[in-house]
A and B are shown apart, each in its own frame.
Chain A
Amino acid sequence: MNNYKIKIYSDLKELDKVRNFVKQIALENNIDELNTYKIVLALEEVCVNIIKHSYKFDSTKRIEILAKIEQNEILFSIEDNGPSFDPRDVLPVEVDLIRKKYQKGGLGIFLISQLVDKIDYQPKNKNFPKNKLTITKILE
């Protein structure tokens, strides 16, 4: 079982680091290009949501990403200590609605749901002081 960790600042410039982090994991674990792309994309969406909505572009704040490979799946936990926000609450119900209304917002979260197999969210609480979003990708 392999574990990986990266800590970034709440800044859109830091997305490069997230991409390279995933690429390195993919390389070490023989994850194919398309799955790597999907994971990178899901993580970017999660980080952008935190940077924009939770931390409001305060680049002194930090986001921590932990990755864990287990048999045929890979889990990423993304931790922040901004206001809690469960992205599952705003999952659009209908794909067509997004397309037809040309809505710009909400695309990111919809995309995450299409890219990974499972999304869990645990808001910060007295036992654990950070919000923790976990996404799981099954590696075929």
Chain B
Amino acid sequence: MDEKFKVRKQTINDVEIIYIYGILDAHTAPLLENSIKETINNGIVRIVVNCKELEYISSAGLGVFMAFVEEIRYKNGDIKFSEMKDKIFSIFELLGFHLIFDILPNDEKALDYFKLNLLKKNE
């Protein structure tokens, strides 16, 4: 499982960048879920999910973000995505997730959004 999906994190001020690698399916989604839970428990609610090395996401993977986003936004945070591959973006688009989340070209841009306090709100 380690090779199939990996998570690496980097904290910059009050923002955590979570780099996700590989296959995010129903089998590996709990790994990400625990990882985000840990970030929130550490008091961080501003998260950038870097998808540069993400090869696959299924609804179980998308469900992880959905499970946390409401709580995070309530706490004045947000989840933003960066460096997403076209095929992954097309799945976000198919489900309308591109309207719920900011998907940005790179981490710098995502960090800028947080600096400017550009947060999506709970509907």
Per-residue CB proximity of B54-91 to A under 8 Å, as 1/0? 00101110110011011000000000000000010011
CA gap between A40 and B66 in the complex, in Å? 22
B95 within 8 A of A: yes
- List residues of chain B with CB within 8 A of the CB of A95: 95-96
Give the residues in chain B near A51, CB-CB below 8 Å: 26
Q: How distant is B25 from chain A, measured CB to nearest CB, in Å?
A: 5
Is chain A's binding surface mostly helix, strand, loop or mixed? Answer: helix
Residue of A nearest to B99 (CB): A99
Q: How many A-B residue pairs have CB under 8 A?
A: 66
A115–B94 CB distance below 8 A: yes
User: Does B4 belong to the interface (CB within 8 Å)?
Assistant: yes
Q: How distant is the Cα of A110 from the Cα of B94 in the complex, in angstroms?
A: 10
- Interface presence of B40 (CB below 8 A): no
A104 contacts B67, C-beta separation under 8 Å: yes
Residues in A with CB closer than 8 Å to B112 are: none
Q: Which listed residue (B26, B87, B97, B100) contacts A37, Cβ 8 A?
A: B87
Give per-residue flags for A1-37: 1 if the beta carbon is below 8 A from chain B beta carbons, else 0. 0000000000011011001000000000000011001
| Known pairs A16-B4, A41-B58, A102-B66; A114 contacts B95 (CB<8 A) | yes
A95 to B58, CA, bound (A): 17
Known contacts: A12-B27, A95-B96, A110-B95. The answer to whether A100 contacts B58 by CB under 8 A is: no
User: What separation, in Å, do the CA atoms of A95 and B62 have in the docked complex?
Assistant: 15
Is residue B123 within 8 Å, beta carbon to beta carbon, of the partner chain?
yes
Find chain A residues with CB under 8 A from B99 CB.
99
- The answer on a CB contact under 8 Å between B95 and A111 is yes
Do B95 and A37 touch across chains, with their CB atoms under 8 A apart?
no
A residues in contact with B100, CB < 8 Å:
99
Report the bound CA distance from A111 to B97 in whole Å: 12
A95, B97: Cα distance in complex, Å: 11
Choose one: B27, B66, B96, B123; the contact of A15 (CB below 8 Å): B27
Per the bound structure, the CA–CA distance linking A41 and B91 in Å amounts to 9
Contacts of B62 in A (CB 8 A): 107
Does A48 sit at the interface, judged by CB under 8 A? Answer: yes
Known: A45-B59, A111-B59. 5 other contacts (CB 8 A): A15-B25, A37-B87, A48-B26, A107-B63, A111-B58
